[in-house]
A and B are shown apart, each in its own frame.
Chain A
Amino acid sequence: MGSTSAHKNEGLGRRDVIKRSAALGLITVPTMSFLSACASGDSGSDETVKKGKTSAKNPLGVNETAALDVVIFDGGFGEQYAIDAEKKYTAAFPKAKVKHTATQKIQSQLQPRFNGGTPPDLIDNSGAEQMDMGVLVGKKQLLDLTPLMDAPSIDDPSKKVRDTLRPGVLEMGQFEGDPVWIMYYAYTVYGVWYSQTGLEKLDAEYPENWDDMLALCAKAKKQGIAGWTYAGKYPYYLPFSLYPFIAKIGGREVLDKIDNLEPNAWKDPAVKAAFEAYYELYKKGYILQGTPGLTHIQSQTEWTKGKALFIPNGSWVENEAAPTTPKDFKMMVAAPSGLDSSDKMPFGTIWASGGEPFVVPAKAKNPQGGMEQLRIMLSEESSKNFTQQVKSLSAFNGGTDGLTLSTAMQAGVDALKKAGDNVVNPRLQDWYVKLQKEQIGTAGLGEMMAGRLTPTEAIKKIQGFADAAAKDQSIKHYKHQ
């Protein structure tokens, strides 16, 4: 066994070549695997298809022979509802070919197509890889959906599409001024989720104020049941009940100030009162042990197992937690309990808003087709189909008549009815994703609820993040109109 080692002369030995190339490889492998994925493509030169003739049946002027390219986020709601609606499109335009793609990786699949100028005609921009809507609008990558809003509805040609939507849905699709960039197709009710059966076992009603809430938690604790749990690894689920709680205490202006990133918005007394109320849950031991280490699925499972009474969540939880939910669970949702009688808004104040954002890219080849597909989805028939399949309301107002609703969906409908005009819609999570999820959620609320920050410290930290975001020139800022 001999050695082929490098000689001590100044030559370039084989080993040196190998070593140096190994070093070069080492340098490039980790960095480049990320960076080269970002390389931008050429601008596309493809022309958009010719617009078709408008008629009563075809108000948007869809080109009957043009292909339609749809990309759907295949998440909690699946893709079947979209496939069903696409069948209606091909029935209306038999010569058109519909290309349907379902993926969970919206951004990694579509980013190159946006950069290359060849985006699809309709996108459900949702999920963990959602593309930043603020950036897309700012860079003029989206089509104004106003023609769709002004088109007649499929069910009743005397009504415009905009008049068939649930309150707030259209406004959510706007950023500044009139253009409507996004069509939120689902309608989500956020709030405090619980099991009616669980409360009945404790001989309790849903508490309307915080003293009752604490008393109920104390009662549950004696029986070895925790009051609350939440998605500890994604603490940005906490705001689903915390933000409307803040609005109830101090009025909706407090939330608007927070959304507008105004100085000292978080130092409002209502925020402090709400934070202290939630912190008390931690201090009194009403939070399920281990919650800070649980994912959303794990915490939902503990909740459906009856280990905790309440969980802040959105209406997708019924579908998502279905595999672990016992038959006699009687899932319900309610507006957050208030603090006391001095609250500015009545009990019932709830957060409800659009979900599943659909967009038509500005450079789509068949933009009329994309909008027409949305018009079909907003018909009563497609909306009912969606509601039945995925157990969620859609943006179409009504459309639940004649359907048998689950207890959770019925509770959502009832909560909306009870709320009336008192529906709040904080925009942080669609305007400033990083601020909402990572900074306020994980670094602020998550730390406070795990007992590592006091409410005062948490507010100071969160205000710091908000101020930094307000100053940051690299993100686009928005204001409530």
Chain B
Amino acid sequence: MQHGRYRFIVGFLVAPLALYAVFVIWPFIQAIYYSFTDWTGLSPDFKMVGFGNYTRMLKDDIFWKSLQHSVILVLVLPLVTLSLALFFAFMLNVGGRRRKNAAVSGVRGSGFYKIAYFFPQVLSIVIVALLFQFAYNPRSGMLNSALKGIGLGSVQPDWLGDPSLALICVMVVLVWSTVGFFVVLFSAGMASIPKDFYEAALLDGASRVTTFFKITVPLLWDTIQSGWVYMGILALGVEAFTAVQVMTVGPGGPDYSTSILPLYVYQTAFRDGQAGYATTIGVGLLIVTMAFAAVVMRLGRRERLEF
């Protein structure tokens, strides 16, 4: 019986699995193979170097620094972005005062806010990063001009030029550009929660905070978990890479303060001509990503609520 079911599922999945094997798993095995070579990326000949690249990686300060930054990103970004998005979505959908005879409604002007939040999503991350690079300009940028405007002319940080601020500056931009997507995602999730739950809670005299934590969050848990995974991909992968590459050109910020693993892979492969070593760092990134996935899957496990 069980076997039959596997065969049934796999039967439908043969074609996609084959594609997956050829285009995802095979390059993946290839990459691990290259991580044991001294391939330059500029010539087809190379030789095996055993674990040479790996011992080098473990002694490489910049690798550890990049790893540390990547881990910070993957911990902080989903937490901040999803918390903000949950809060905004709650306010837009159920956080409003009672009016128009509807028991549950969003704050005034929520339709407009939804569009405003989602707007950054239609801009490419490259454009967003470029725009913020202007805002962070210490001479004529929006931020320092605003500080001057309110009489704080003596406080003029260098923003992206300051190692203690640069990574935070990048994270703010990433949050700004992604939070709208999750607001929409969570709004859709909230729309599917039966209104009577909220009405019942209101009748019982529950406050907005209680409704949020006792009803909204538990019923949205699946959506939140998917969001967490998705945000992890952005933080470890291409979105964070683009923001760092465009904004903190230098590269990797002052004194490596914004260097992250994908950027380090890219520089090693395409600037230093050490594609073999770059794939080794890529394998390091893979391990971080696997650890992240394992943690999310384990911590996220929760009893399902039926409704």
- A and B held together in a complex: yes
- A114, B43: Cβ atoms closer than 8 Å: yes
- A293, B248: Cβ atoms closer than 8 Å: no
Q: Which residue of A lies closest to B27 (CB)?
A: A36
Q: Is B44 an interface residue (CB 8 A)?
A: yes
- A290, B293: Cβ atoms closer than 8 Å: no
Q: 8 additional contacts, CB 8 Å, given A34-B282, A41-B44, A433-B271?
A: A1-B194, A32-B24, A39-B31, A40-B44, A136-B43, A293-B160, A442-B256, A474-B38
Of the candidates B56, B272, B293, the one whose C-beta lies within 8 Å of that of A26 is B293
Interface centre among B237, B271, B285, B289 (most CB of A within 10 A): B271
How long is the Cα–Cα vector from A446 to B133 in the complex, in angstroms? 19
- B272, A5: Cβ atoms closer than 8 Å: no
How long is the Cα–Cα vector from A116 to B229 in the complex, in angstroms? 37
Note all chain B residues with C-beta closer than 8 A to A23: 229, 293, 297
- A289, B9: Cβ atoms closer than 8 Å: no
- A111, B41: Cβ atoms closer than 8 Å: yes
How long is the Cα–Cα vector from A222 to B40 in the complex, in angstroms? 54
- A29, B237: Cβ atoms closer than 8 Å: yes
Of the candidates B44, B252, B286, B307, the one whose C-beta lies within 8 Å of that of A27 is B286
Q: How far is the CB of A457 from chain B (nearest CB, A)?
A: 12
- B161, A450: Cβ atoms closer than 8 Å: yes
Given the known inter-chain contacts A31-B285, A446-B254, A447-B255, please indicate yes or no for A289 contacting B139, CB distance below 8 A. yes
Q: Which of A181-189, A254-262, A294-302 contacts B (4 or more CB under 8 A)?
A: A294-302
Contact mask for chain B residues 265-277; partner A; CB cutoff 8 A; 1 contact, 0 none: 1110111111101
Q: Is B150 an interface residue (CB 8 A)?
A: no
Q: How far is the CB of B10 from chain A (nearest CB, A)?
A: 10
Contact mask for chain A residues 324-358; partner B; CB cutoff 8 A; 1 contact, 0 none: 00000000000000000000000000000000000
Interface residues of B in 227-286 (CB under 8 A from A): 229, 232-233, 236-238, 248-252, 254-256, 262, 265-267, 269-275, 277-279, 282-283, 285-286
How long is the Cα–Cα vector from A30 to B158 in the complex, in angstroms? 31
Given the known inter-chain contacts A1-B194, A141-B42, A233-B250, please indicate yes or no for A290 contacting B156, CB distance below 8 A. yes
- A446, B250: Cβ atoms closer than 8 Å: yes
How long is the Cα–Cα vector from A143 to B262 in the complex, in angstroms? 33
Given the known inter-chain contacts A31-B286, A434-B271, A442-B250, please indicate yes or no for A3 contacting B307, CB distance below 8 A. yes
Note all chain A residues with C-beta closer than 8 A to B252: 438, 442
Q: Which residue of B lies closest to A34 (CB)?
A: B265
Of the candidates B27, B56, B161, the one whose C-beta lies within 8 Å of that of A294 is B161
Note all chain A residues with C-beta closer than 8 A to B269: 34, 38
Of the candidates B158, B163, B282, the one whose C-beta lies within 8 Å of that of A31 is B282
How long is the Cα–Cα vector from A433 to B271 in the complex, in angstroms? 8
CB within 8 Å of A: which residues of B? 2, 5-6, 9, 24-25, 27-28, 30-31, 34, 38-45, 56, 133, 136-139, 144, 156, 158-163, 192, 194, 226, 229, 232-233, 236-238, 248-252, 254-256, 262, 265-267, 269-275, 277-279, 282-283, 285-286, 289-290, 292-293, 297, 304, 306-307
Q: How far is the CB of B34 from chain A (nearest CB, A)?
A: 7
CB within 8 Å of B: which residues of A? 1-3, 5, 10-12, 17, 19, 22-23, 26-36, 38-43, 107-108, 111, 114-117, 129, 131-132, 134-136, 138-141, 232-235, 288-295, 298, 302, 307, 433-434, 438, 442-443, 446-447, 450, 452, 474-475
Note all chain A residues with C-beta closer than 8 A to B293: 23, 26-27
Q: How far is the CB of A206 from chain B (nearest CB, A)?
A: 25
- A30, B233: Cβ atoms closer than 8 Å: yes
Of the candidates B43, B192, B248, B270, the one whose C-beta lies within 8 Å of that of A1 is B192
How long is the Cα–Cα vector from A138 to B34 in the complex, in angstroms? 19
Note all chain A residues with C-beta closer than 8 A to B248: 233
- A290, B44: Cβ atoms closer than 8 Å: no
How long is the Cα–Cα vector from A475 to B268 in the complex, in angstroms? 12
How long is the Cα–Cα vector from A480 to B293 in the complex, in angstroms? 51
Q: How far is the CB of A14 from chain B (nearest CB, A)?
A: 8
- B158, A141: Cβ atoms closer than 8 Å: no
Of the candidates A43, A232, A475, the one whose C-beta lies within 8 Å of that of B44 is A43
How long is the Cα–Cα vector from A36 to B25 in the complex, in angstroms? 10
Of the candidates B45, B161, B306, the one whose C-beta lies within 8 Å of that of A293 is B161
Q: How far is the CB of B286 from chain A (nearest CB, A)?
A: 4
Note all chain A residues with C-beta closer than 8 A to B133: 295
Q: How far is the CB of B298 from chain A (nearest CB, A)?
A: 11
How long is the Cα–Cα vector from A366 to B232 in the complex, in angstroms? 49
Given the known inter-chain contacts A3-B304, A27-B286, A27-B289, please indicate yes or no for A32 contacting B28, CB distance below 8 A. yes
Given the known inter-chain contacts A294-B137, A447-B255, please indicate yes or no for A132 contacting B272, CB distance below 8 A. yes
How long is the Cα–Cα vector from A51 to B45 in the complex, in angstroms? 27
How long is the Cα–Cα vector from A131 to B282 in the complex, in angstroms? 21
Q: How far is the CB of A308 from chain B (nearest CB, A)?
A: 10
How long is the Cα–Cα vector from A29 to B303 in the complex, in angstroms? 29
Note all chain A residues with C-beta closer than 8 A to B233: 26, 29-30
How long is the Cα–Cα vector from A406 to B22 in the complex, in angstroms? 58
Of the candidates B39, B256, B297, the one whose C-beta lies within 8 Å of that of A443 is B256
Of the candidates A33, A38, A433, the one whose C-beta lies within 8 Å of that of B238 is A33
Given the known inter-chain contacts A139-B43, A234-B250, please indicate yes or no for A294 contacting B138, CB distance below 8 A. yes
Q: How far is the CB of A193 from chain B (nearest CB, A)?
A: 18
Note all chain B residues with C-beta closer than 8 A to A30: 233, 236-238, 262, 285, 289
- A139, B161: Cβ atoms closer than 8 Å: no
Q: How far is the CB of B237 from chain A (nearest CB, A)?
A: 3
Q: List 25 A-B contacts (CB under 8 A).
A: A3-B307, A10-B2, A11-B2, A12-B5, A23-B293, A26-B289, A28-B28, A29-B233, A34-B269, A36-B30, A38-B279, A108-B270, A134-B273, A136-B273, A139-B45, A234-B249, A289-B138, A292-B138, A293-B136, A293-B138, A294-B137, A294-B139, A438-B250, A442-B255, A446-B255
How long is the Cα–Cα vector from A253 to B5 in the complex, in angstroms? 77
The 7 closest A-B pairs by CB, nearest first: A290-B138, A30-B237, A293-B161, A292-B161, A35-B31, A135-B273, A139-B43
Interface centre among A29, A34, A131 (most CB of B within 10 A): A34
Q: How far is the CB of B165 from chain A (nearest CB, A)?
A: 9
Note all chain B residues with C-beta closer than 8 A to A233: 160-161, 248-250, 254
Q: Which residue of A lies closest to B17 (CB)?
A: A21
How long is the Cα–Cα vector from A154 to B256 in the complex, in angstroms? 49
Given the known inter-chain contacts A38-B278, A39-B30, A290-B144, please indicate yes or no for A115 contacting B249, CB distance below 8 A. no
How long is the Cα–Cα vector from A114 to B275 in the complex, in angstroms? 13
- B250, A32: Cβ atoms closer than 8 Å: no
Note all chain A residues with C-beta closer than 8 A to B251: 438, 442
Given the known inter-chain contacts A34-B262, A35-B282, A474-B277, please indicate yes or no for A292 contacting B254, CB distance below 8 A. yes
Q: How far is the CB of B82 from chain A (nearest CB, A)?
A: 16
How long is the Cα–Cα vector from A108 to B237 in the complex, in angstroms? 19
- A295, B249: Cβ atoms closer than 8 Å: yes
- A302, B44: Cβ atoms closer than 8 Å: no
Q: How far is the CB of A262 from chain B (nearest CB, A)?
A: 22
Q: Which residue of B lies closest to A17 (CB)?
A: B9
Given the known inter-chain contacts A3-B304, A26-B229, A293-B162, please indicate yes or no for A36 contacting B31, CB distance below 8 A. yes
- B274, A474: Cβ atoms closer than 8 Å: yes
Interface centre among B30, B44, B282, B297 (most CB of A within 10 A): B44
